[in-house]
Amino acid sequence: MKPDIKQKADNLLTSVNVRKTRPRIAILAVLLTAQKPVTQNQVAERLGENHLNKVTIYRTLDTFVKAGLVHKAFLQQKTWHFELAHNCTKSQCHPHFTCTDCGQTRCLTGISLPMAKSPYKGFVIDHQRVQLEGLCPNCSTKAR
């Protein structure tokens, strides 16, 4: 693990008052270097020889979610995808785009969408996730 990534992980854990442990730092390092939301299994794969058991990874991700450091970005094929929460607010996650051809998902941090307002009496929207689907640049070029 690169020293600067380890330092960032240390700083993030300190900022949310979460105890620093080797597994937490390793899992946070995976999330810091990921270019997109990752699943629990992808975290395990990226840890490689430092592979932790799935229960430890799940509990660590859950701890990060509860601390507000990480959030569950979206659910795809019955699997949660996790990412750092720094691009999101408490009420709204930035949009994600999933290619319907290759399955790749990208964060769309440059897009801001207004919060939905419920037209139905009694419904209160506390959090909004937007998942957009279509063709990515590579797949749309192939389709033409």
Q: What is the pLDDT along the chain (144 residues), one digit of tens a residue?
A: 788 988 999 999 999 999 999 999 999 999 999 988 899 999 999 998 767 888 999 999 999 999 989 988 877 778 888 988 876 767 677 788 888 998 888 888 778 788 888 889 999 988 788 888 899 999 988 877
Residue 80: give the domain boundaries: 3-87
Q: What is the model's pLDDT at position 104?
A: 84
Q: At what angle do helices 22-33 and 3-15 cross, to 10 degrees?
A: 110
Q: Which of 63, 87, 111 is the last residue of a domain?
A: 87
User: CA angle 39-42-46, nearest 5°?
Assistant: 145
Provide the pLDDT for residue 50: 64
Into how many domains does the chain fold? 2
The answer to whether residues 81 and 50 belong to one domain is yes
Same domain, yes or no: 46 and 75: yes
pLDDT on residue 114: 87
- 31 and 72 together in one domain: yes
Q: What is the CATH number of the domain that holds 37?
A: 1.10.10.10
Same domain for 80 and 9?
Answer: yes
Neighbours of 67 (CB within 10 A): 15
Q: Say yes or no: 21 and 62 in one domain.
A: yes
Using only C-alpha atoms, the chain has a radius of gyration, in whole angstroms, of: 17
Q: Are residues 26 and 74 in the same domain?
A: yes
Dihedral, CA atoms, 77, 49, 27, 129, nearest 10 degrees? Answer: -20
Q: Are residues 39 and 18 in the same domain?
A: yes
Under 8 Å between Cβ of 111 and 94: yes
Is the domain of 39 the same as that of 22?
A: yes
Q: Which residues contact 87 (CB under 8 A, 6 or more apart)?
A: 94, 107, 109
Q: How far is CA 48 from the centre of its chain?
A: 20
79 and 104 both lie in a single domain: no
Q: Does residue 65 sit in the same domain as residue 21?
A: yes
> How distant, in Å, are the alpha carbons of 38, 63, 97 from that of 104?
11, 27, 8
How many beta carbons lie within 10 A of that of residue 30, not counting itself? 22
